[in-house]
Amino acid sequence: MKPLLPLACFRPLATLLLALSALQAHAAEAPRCRYVMVAKLPLQYTGPSLQVTTQGVIDGTPATMLVDTGSYDSFLTRTGTEKRGMKLSNLGRVAQGVGGHASIYQTWIREFVAGPARSERGQMLVLSDFGQPPSYDAILGAPFLLQTDLEISLATKEIKFFQPVDCGDTHLAYWDADALVVPFDSSFETTPTPEFTVLVNGLKMRAIIDTGATATTMSLAAAKRAGLQLDAPGVTPAGHAVGVGDVKVAYWHATFNTFQMGEEVIRNADIGVVDGKDKGVDVVLGDDFLRSHRVLFAMSQRKIYFSYVGGQPFEQHRKLESWIQAEADAGNGDAQMRVASMYARGERVAPDAAAAANWLEKAAVNGNGHANLFSGRALLIQGRALDAAPRLRLALDKLPSSRDAALWLYLARLRTGQAELGRTELTAAFARSQDGEWPAPVAAFYLGKSSAQQLLKQAMQDRELGRKRRCSAISAMKEWYEAQGDHAQGQAMAAARTEHCGNPADNEDQD
C-alpha cells in the first residue's frame, strides 16, 4: 500500500510541464518575464454558509471541493467518503478549528483530480465532526492550492494558477499596475498559509487570507489588545460560530477605527470577534474581503498583490447582502436555503414565515440537501410521513453523513408501512459509523439490537455531551414508539423528556 498521499505532492499535468520547459528554454536565450497560466477553475457558493467551492473528481465521480487557503492540509469529508462507500481507519488524531477539534481518519482512493493536478491510487486524510454535515466532498488546503502562484477573483468567481518564468521581482498583478503589495512574514516558513502583518487601530497583528472563512474575524485576545471592550457601545453579541468540531464559540459584531493592509486603510472596519482558537493568528481575512478585492498569492516572490474592486470590504452578516440575494435569484439552491433560514429566524431581515416557506420550497425543488432535510422533518412532525419520505431520502443522498436524515427517514418508513425498506436504508446509512459514534446507539435501538436502558447508558458515556445526548435519546425513543402506534410508551417518553430535559428544543443533538 502506498503511503499517505499529501496533496502538496500533486503536480501539474505532464503536458503543462513540457510547455513550461519550452518557455524556460526560450527564456534562456532572451530572458523576459512570462507569467504562464497553469489552470483556471470556476467557483461556486455552496452549502448552508455559502462557502467557496470548485468542482473536481474523486474515484471517477464529480466532487464538490471547498477552496480553503486557511487549511493546513487537504482532506476528504464524511460526505465525500460515504457517497462513495469508502472505508475509514481511525488515525487517533484531531484537527483544531474554531469549533473545537475534529477526528481525522484515513481512506484509500483510486483517483483524485482538482484543477491542474491528478493523483491515482493512494491514501488520503478524512475530516469528521463538523458543526453540521458539509455539502462538499473534499477540502483543498493551502499545500495544494499554493503549489504555484494563485489568483483569487470572487467578483468573477474564478481562481487561476500561475507559474512565473524568469520573472524575478517583476510586478505580477497583470490586471493592475497600481496593485498594492504586502510581503509574507518570516513565520510563513513554518506554516502552510502565508502570514503577513496588518494594523488594527495602529497595532501590528498577524493575519492570513482564508478562502474557507465566510467572513473576516479577529480573535478576542487580539481585539482586546486593540482596545475592544465587550460592554462598549456598538459591540453586540452575534450568537455563535461553528466550524471544524462541534463546539459553538461566542461571536460579537465590533467596529474598529482603522484597519490597514499595506497602503490600504479601511476606516470604521466592521470585523467579527471570535472567542475561540482558530488558525493561530490574530486576524483571518475571509470571503467578504475577497469579494471586494482581487488577490494574488505570489508564492514565487513571497508577496501578496491586491486591488480594491468595489463593494464593502467587510460584511459581518448584519443584513441580507446583495450578493446572497443575487445568488438566490439566479437559482442557487444553497443561497435560496440561506435566504429561507434568514426569513424564518428574523436574521438580518424582518421575520416573514411566508417568505421563508417560499424560499425553502424553491431550495428543496432545486435539490438543496438541507432544505429537503428540514422540510422533510417538518412534514414528518405534521404527520405527513408519505410526503416526508422522498424528501428525507433525497436529503440522505445529498448529505450521506447526516445521521438525522437516516433516522428520520426510518421513522417515515415505519409510519408508511415500509419497515423492511426502512431497516435496509438505516442499516446501510450506519454501516460505516465508527464504534460508539453518536447517534449510532439510536440506530441500534431502532433496529432492535439494544434496549432502551442500553441506549440511555450509552448516551451518558460522554462526559461533556451526556445530558444532551440522553435527552436526544429520549426524544428518539418517543418518536419510535409513536411511529409503531404504541402511544402509551410514547406518552411515557414525553413525560420523561419533560422531567429530565425541560424544553426539548434546547436539548436536540442533531449531527
- How is residue 426 written as a grid cell? 438505516
Mean pLDDT of 18-37: 65
Question: How confident is the model at residue 342, as a pLDDT?
Answer: 96
Q: What is the DSSP string of 225-260?
A: HTT--TTSTT-EEEEEE--BSS--EEEEEEEEEEEE
How many CA atoms does the CB half-sphere of 509 hold within 13 Å?
22
What confidence tens digit (pLDDT) does each residue in 321-344 have? 999 999 999 999 999 999 999 999
pLDDT tier at 2, thresholds 50, 70, 90 = very low
pLDDT for 329: 98
Contact status, residue 6 vs residue 125, Cβ threshold 8 Å: no
**pTM of the entire predicted model:** 0.82
Distances in Å between the Cα of 293 and the Cα atoms of 140, 182, 242, 335 are 21, 14, 25, 22
Q: What is the pLDDT of residues 433-468, one digit of tens each?
A: 766 789 999 999 999 999 999 999 999 998 889 999
Q: What is the pLDDT of residues 189-211, one digit of tens each?
A: 667 899 999 999 999 999 999 99
Name which residue leads in pLDDT, 470 or 119. Answer: 470
User: Contact at 8 Å (CB) between 336 and 366?
Assistant: yes
Contact 12, 19 (CB under 8 A): no
Contact 84, 90 (CB under 8 A): no
Write out pLDDT tens, residues 355-412. Answer: 999 999 999 999 999 999 999 999 999 999 999 999 999 999 999 989 999 999 999 9
Instruction: Check pLDDT > 60 for residue 223.
Output: yes
Distances (CA, A) of 344 to 273, 292, 341, 352: 25, 29, 5, 6
Q: What is the pLDDT of residue 117?
A: 82
pLDDT at position 23 over 60: no
pLDDT band at 247 (very low <50, low <70, confident <90, very high): low
Instruction: Reply yes or no on whether the pLDDT at 13 is more than 60.
Output: no
58-81 pLDDT tens trace: 999 999 999 999 998 999 999 999
Mean residue pLDDT of the chain comes to 89
Domains, the chain, in order of start with CATH, read: 35-153 (2.40.70.10), 177-308 (2.40.70.10), 438-510 (no CATH)
Which of 237-246, 264-273, 416-425 is predicted with the least confidence, judged by mean pLDDT? Answer: 237-246
Closest among 88, 116, 114 to 103, alpha carbons compared: 88
Instruction: For residue range 80-135, list pLDDT tens digits in order.
Output: 999 999 999 988 777 665 545 678 999 999 999 998 788 888 999 998 866 677 88
**Are 86 and 77 a contacting pair, CB within 8 Å?**
no
pLDDT-above-90 percentage for the chain:
75
Phi-psi category of residue 417: left, alpha or beta, with phi > 0 → left and psi -120 to 50 → alpha: left
